[in-house]
Amino acid sequence: MAKFRTNHERSGSGASGNIVKVGIFSAVIGGLFFVFNQFMGGSSSEDTTDNPDPIEETNYQPSEEYLPTSTTGQVVHHRYYSLSYSEEDEQAEWVAYTLTKENLNKPWVDRKDVFIPDSKVKTNSSTPADYRGSGYDRGHLVPAADMAFSEEAMRETFFMSNISPQSHNFNGGIWRELEELTRSWAKKMNKLYVVTGPILSYEPKGYIGDNEVAIPAAYFKVLLDLEDPGQKGIGFVIPNEVSYDPLYKFAVSVDRVEEISGLDFYPDLLGDEAEEAIESNFNIDLWPFSKKKFEDRIDKWNKR
């Protein structure tokens, strides 16, 4: 299907190219400011955040060695997560981030549902208008609740590059259950490495909006316990539809998710032997499921 693309106007940060002549007085003042800034330990690099959060970078942003392979060649790094964007499907093929007990135990900031295009996507991301009247939820890949420890982190989850069309009873049902369990597991295990995305290798259920955003047939989530990366990993592949089955029925090995998605999740993180061991095996008993959440989904969430 040929895709119709609209050109989204961007507010770039580049200079206009005009050279402004400055006087000797301005040059002297600028020089004095530079010396003062250097003396005081300031940085001459541009800070793109109004109020950067005083959080150690290792608490939320995975290093390069953690990132999966990108089949699109367009990897985007935000402060709190990274993603690989698929222009053909107008959504990320994966998002990756660390989820820590420390951050999850912090007070939650207020959620503000302000969805905006992602200016870091060079080919232009989808827009909120693509979802309007579609009947599909603007489903988060990085859940807003995972980043509720910081206004900036929460705001980043509303970039349209982090959004994918999800069936309402999937988004508010079994997918919600998995997201809430993932936070529970992170609190229990201290730190999880999370990779989430749509299964773009499956035939889409359809397309929405002027940008023809693909509606994924299924989604995956892959989790790695960073306190014990050689032993504990698990994957999930779940159809994009309402489900009345227990969540554990959708648990699979990381190898299986790789086979289905065409991605390689730990190419540089683990040695070959450790990678093979963790990806080919998973012990469901190491990931405690919640009977209460399952009952809530069946009795309440699926009916909303």
Rounded Cα distance between 236 and 197, Å, is: 11
pLDDT for the residue numbered 10:
34
Rounded Cα distance between 224 and 239, Å, is: 22
CATH of the domain at 67: 3.40.570.10
pTM recorded for the entire structure? 0.79
Picking from 43-52, 61-70, 199-208, 249-258, which range would have the lowest pLDDT averaged per residue?
43-52
Residue 13 lies in a domain: no
Residue 261 lies in a domain: yes
Residue 156 lies in a domain: yes
Residue 24 lies in a domain: no
Tens of pLDDT, residues 109-120: 999 999 999 999
Residue 121 lies in a domain: yes
Residue 200 lies in a domain: yes
- 140 carries an active-site annotation: yes
Q: Which domain holds residue 283?
A: 57-303
For residues 59 and 150, is the Cβ–Cβ distance under 8 A? no
Residue 130 lies in a domain: yes
Residue 70 pLDDT grade (very low, low, confident, very high; cuts 50, 70, 90):
very high
- Count of domains observed in the chain: 1
Catalytic residue among 8, 77, 78, 140: 140
Rounded Cα distance between 55 and 68, Å, is: 24
